[in-house]
C-alpha cells in the first residue's frame, strides 16, 4: 500500500489528550486497521477525560502546540461512570475563558471517540490538522515564553524600537 505524501509549507504541531479506555483504543484501532491520518498529532494517554486539567492545554500551547485535541468516551460510556460528564462542564467553562482572553477556539477541539470509532478518530485528527494548517502557527503563547519584564531583559524591545527609529 502506498499513499502519496503531500509536502506542506507548515506542519502544525497537534497535541491530543485522550482517555485510555475509548479514544486511545479508537486511535489504536485506526492504526491496526492501517487507516491513514496526519502524523502531526502527538497522543498523550490519560485514565479519563476527567483527569485532563485545563492547565495541560495551556502548557501544550505554551510549549509549542499549534492545536490541541481533547477526546474521550461518549457520554454514558465513561469507565469511571461520570468522568467525561464532569470534563464536559469544565471544558465548556474553559473555552469561554480562553475566548475571553483572546485565544482562537478553532485551535482547540473536543471530541468523543469510542474504541470502535477508528474512522472517527481519523476524521477528527485530519480535520483539526488541516484547519490549524490553514490558520498557521499559533504565535500567542509561544511569543509570551520569550518575553521578559523590562528589568530582566538585557535589551528591551521597546528601547530597541526607539533606537531603530532614531536611526
Q: How far is the CB of 91 from another protein (least distance, A)?
A: 8
What is the C-alpha separation between 122 and 138, in angstroms, rounded?
23
| Number of continuous H segments (helices) and E segments (strands) in the chain | 6, 4
Which one of the spans 19-27, 35-43, 79-87, 130-138 is the region binding another protein (CB under 8 A)? 79-87
What's the burial of 67, exposed, middle or buried (CB within 10 Å: 0-12/13-18/19+)? buried
Q: Does 85 bind another protein (CB under 8 A)?
A: yes
What is the C-alpha separation between 76 and 83, in angstroms, rounded?
10
Secondary structure of residue 35 in the 3-state scheme? coil
Q: Does 81 bind another protein (CB under 8 A)?
A: no
Among 5, 7, 100, 134, binds another protein (CB under 8 A): 100
DSSP state of 106: G
The residue (of 1 and 136) whose beta carbon lies closer to another protein is 136
111: cell is: 471530541
x/- letters, 9..48, toward another protein (CB under 8 A): ----------------------------------------
Binding site for another protein (CB under 8 A): 53-55, 58-59, 62, 75-76, 82, 85-86, 88-105, 109-112, 124, 140-141, 144-145, 147-152, 154-156, 158-159, 161-163, 166
Amino acid at each position: 500500500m502506498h499513499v502519496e505524501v503531500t509536502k506542506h509549507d507548515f506542519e502544525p504541531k497537534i497535541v491530543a489528550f485522550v482517555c485510555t479506555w475509548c479514544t486511545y483504543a479508537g486511535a489504536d484501532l485506526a492504526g491496526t486497521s492501517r487507516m491513514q491520518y496526519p502524523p502531526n498529532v502527538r497522543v498523550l494517554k490519560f485514565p479519563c477525560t476527567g483527569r485532563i486539567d485545563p492547565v495541560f492545554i495551556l502548557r501544550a500551547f505554551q510549549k509549542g502546540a499549534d492545536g490541541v485535541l481533547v477526546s474521550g468516551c461518549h457520554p454514558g460510556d465513561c469507565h469511571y461512570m461520570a468522568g467525561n460528564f464532569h470534563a464536559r462542564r469544565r471544558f465548556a467553562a474553559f473555552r469561554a475563558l480562553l475566548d475571553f482572553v483572546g485565544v482562537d477556539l478553532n485551535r482547540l477541539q473536543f471530541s468523543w471517540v469510542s474504541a470502535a470509532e477508528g474512522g472517527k478518530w481519523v476524521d477528527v485528527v485530519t480535520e483539526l490538522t488541516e484547519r490549524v494548517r490553514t490558520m498557521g502557527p499559533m504565535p500567542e503563547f509561544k511569543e509570551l515564553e520569550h518575553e521578559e519584564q523590562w528589568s530582566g531583559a538585557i535589551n528591551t524591545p521597546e528601547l530597541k524600537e526607539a533606537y531603530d527609529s532614531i536611526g
